[in-house]
Amino acid sequence: MKSLSEIETTSKRASRAVGFSWGVAEEIAKGVRQLELFGFPGIKNLSQYYKLINKKKFEKLTIIKKNNKSNKSSLCPVDLGVRFLDQIKTLESLKKITFYKIAHPILFLPFLSRSSEIVGKRILLKFEKNTLLLNFNVNILSKFIKNEFPSIAKKVEVIFLENKDFFSEKEWKNLYKLSENTFVEETDSLKQGAAGAGLTDND
């Protein structure tokens, strides 16, 4: 079994070899490492994508808008991911962003995961009747683990979710009331034993 370090190093070198800058290659490598760590086929999809990258011309977006359509070819997932990170503060205000025709969309996932951490919000990704939830760059929830990722996603929706509790106010109050049983009433002896509460000065 290949180590995560081997996966990251080889992905970085391969990315540089196909023409990406060392900086972008490093981002790609970190993303593939994360995919493999979470159980997604990062190496498989990166390898497939690099077999095509010099044969097909993948489209690049300069400015990401609410709705983004490629002219003829599919969007490059790496370039799109880099642009997404660069423009994340603006994109967050759009709430929902739609892309049409993204090549190997799994390679776009790590960039969205990083974006989730930067803005402090969960991000929902939808395509081909599939849903993935990206949680602050900590994990990715999906039923996609055993399924094949498509080589092209025809329509992709990226939705920024507002932060909210997953429990009711009543549930919180019940639990908080129970926690109060651990509170210790302050006494004179506790005050004297507290830090900085000594009665003598030893200096």
Joined tokens for residue 189: 């002896």
∠ CA(112), CA(113), CA(119), 5° rounding?
85
**Facing residues of 126 across strands?**
131, 157
For residue 30, what pLDDT is reported? 97
In a domain, 85, yes or no: yes
Residue 140 and residue 132 in contact, taking contact as beta carbons nearer than 8 Å: yes
DSSP at 75? B
Quote the mean pLDDT of the chain: 90
Q: Report whether pLDDT(47) > 60.
A: yes
DSSP at 107? G
In a domain, 115, yes or no: yes
Range of the domain at 77: 4-160
In a domain, 112, yes or no: yes
In a domain, 104, yes or no: yes
In a domain, 80, yes or no: yes
In a domain, 78, yes or no: yes
Stretch 120-140: mean pLDDT, rounded?
94
Q: How far apart are CA 58 and CA 102, in angstroms?
A: 9
Q: How far apart are CA 9 and CA 4, in angstroms?
A: 9
Stretch 87-116: mean pLDDT, rounded?
96
DSSP secondary structure string, 180-194? GGG-----HHHHHHS
SS3 97: strand
pLDDT tens track for 151-197: 999 999 999 999 999 999 999 999 999 999 998 766 666 556 655 55
Residue 91 and residue 84 in contact, taking contact as beta carbons nearer than 8 Å: yes
Q: Quick one: which of 17, 126, 25 has its CA closest to 81?
A: 25
Distances, alpha carbon 136 to alpha carbons 1, 83, 98, 113, 130, in Å: 28, 19, 21, 6, 20
Domains contained in the chain, number:
1
In a domain, 167, yes or no: no
∠ CA(161), CA(129), CA(58), 5° rounding?
85
Q: Report whether pLDDT(147) > 70.
A: no
In a domain, 37, yes or no: yes
Joined tokens for residue 44: 């498989």
In sequence order, the 6+-apart residues with CB closer than 8 A to the CB of 188 are none
